């Protein structure tokens, strides 16, 4: 199990779609013009949200390979994506060149904050060796902003960001540094890199997404600071009361990163 449910991925998909930086996708799509068919690998694809966003924005025709270690998510993806795809159950902790073989584009969405510096360096060099462009989006950048504000927002955010840096299976996670470190690794590997912000702005109309996000933050904070449980759960209650009252908005910072060769 990955810990990412299909329900959670469905809940976040509209926020992801609204947040993504079109300039980054467009720059990569332009660089890929003329590759026929366009061969794309999506790492940590979940239920295929990234493909649903990209299929109409990249040159046609396309051949997609979706990789994830969660077979159930891949099975759901096959029913939700706009064309037939090659799905592969793959543990991406140990990247090997086969994942990228023959690809024009390697992409990933909401994955790279889980990985380590060593992983991202290997990723960049394997993509370069395959001659593939790169599009890695919705990399958490450490910023969260809740409105109305609360006296303990900053304390919880600091704990969440510390938790983000813990090992998610790939070594010490890049967490809030993932976008910047990815951009640097791609630059060092010889890519021309474009980075734009792709923040979630989640309004009162997305109350359930807010609830689950805040509950996840509180759980992560308690895990890291059990002695602060009372204070953290009180913060959670106050935040959820704003959500229930329809007065809560949350911004979560992300980076979209594109890399093209030549």
- How buried is residue 83: exposed, middle or buried, by Cβ count under 10 Å (0-12/13-18/19+)? exposed
Q: Is 45 in the site for ligand SAM (CB under 6 A)?
A: yes
Q: Is 198 in the site for ligand SAM (CB under 6 A)?
A: no
The CB-of-110 to ligand SAM minimum distance in angstroms stands at: 4
Q: Is 204 in the site for ligand SAM (CB under 6 A)?
A: no
> What is the Cα–Cα distance from 202 to 134, expressed in whole angstroms?
27
- How buried is residue 218: exposed, middle or buried, by Cβ count under 10 Å (0-12/13-18/19+)? buried
E strand map for 46-128: 62-68, 86-89, 105-109
> What is the Cα–Cα distance from 19 to 16, expressed in whole angstroms?
5
Given candidates 27, 31, 49, 119, which one binds ligand SAM under the rule CB under 6 A? 49
The residue among 67 and 232 lying less far from ligand SAM, judged by its C-beta, is 67
Q: What is the total residue count of the chain?
A: 262
> What is the Cα–Cα distance from 66 to 140, expressed in whole angstroms?
22
* Residues touching ligand SAM, count (CB under 6 A): 21
The residue among 78 and 190 lying less far from ligand SAM, judged by its C-beta, is 78
The residue among 46 and 253 lying less far from ligand SAM, judged by its C-beta, is 46
Task: State the SS3 of 183-211.
Answer: HHHHHHCCCEEEEEECCEEECHHHHHHHH
The CB-of-262 to ligand SAM minimum distance in angstroms stands at: 27
Count of other CB atoms within 10 angstroms of residue 4: 17
Site for ligand SAM in 100-119 (CB under 6 A): 109-111
Given candidates 26, 35, 59, 69, which one binds ligand SAM under the rule CB under 6 A? 69
Given candidates 31, 39, 46, 128, which one binds ligand SAM under the rule CB under 6 A? 46
Q: Is 220 in the site for ligand SAM (CB under 6 A)?
A: no
Using CB under 6 A, list all residues that contact ligand SAM: 2, 4, 9, 16, 44-46, 49-50, 68-70, 73, 90-93, 109-111, 169
């Amino acid at each position: 199990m990955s810990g990412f449910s299909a329900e959670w991925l469905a809940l976040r998909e509209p926020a992801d779609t609204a947040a993504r930086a079109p300039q980054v996708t467009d720059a990569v799509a332009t660089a890929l013009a003329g590759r026929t068919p366009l061969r794309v690998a999506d790492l940590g694809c979940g239920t295929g949200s990234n493909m649903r966003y990209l299929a109409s924005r990249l040159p046609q025709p396309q051949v997609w390979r979706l990789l994830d270690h969660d077979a159930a998510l891949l099975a759901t993806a096959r029913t939700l994506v706009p064309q037939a795809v090659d799905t592969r159950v793959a543990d991406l902790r140990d990247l090997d060149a086969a994942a990228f073989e023959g690809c024009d584009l390697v992409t990933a969405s909401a994955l790279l904050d889980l990985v380590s510096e060593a992983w991202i360096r290997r990723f960049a060099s394997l993509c370069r060796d395959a001659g593939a462009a790169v599009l890695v989006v919705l990399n958490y950048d450490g910023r969260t902003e809740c409105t109305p504000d609360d006296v303990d927002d900053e304390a919880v955010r600091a704990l969440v960001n510390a938790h983000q840096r813990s090992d998610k299976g790939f070594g010490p996670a890049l967490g809030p540094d993932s976008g910047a470190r990815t951009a640097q690794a791609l630059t060092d590997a010889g890519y021309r890199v474009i980075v734009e912000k792709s923040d979630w702005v989640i309004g009162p109309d997305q109350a359930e997404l807010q609830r689950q996000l805040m509950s996840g933050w509180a759980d992560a904070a308690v895990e890291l600071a059990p002695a602060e449980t009372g204070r953290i759960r009180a913060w959670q209650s106050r935040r959820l009361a704003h959500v229930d009252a329809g007065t809560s908005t949350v911004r979560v910072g992300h980076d979209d990163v594109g890399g093209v060769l030549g």
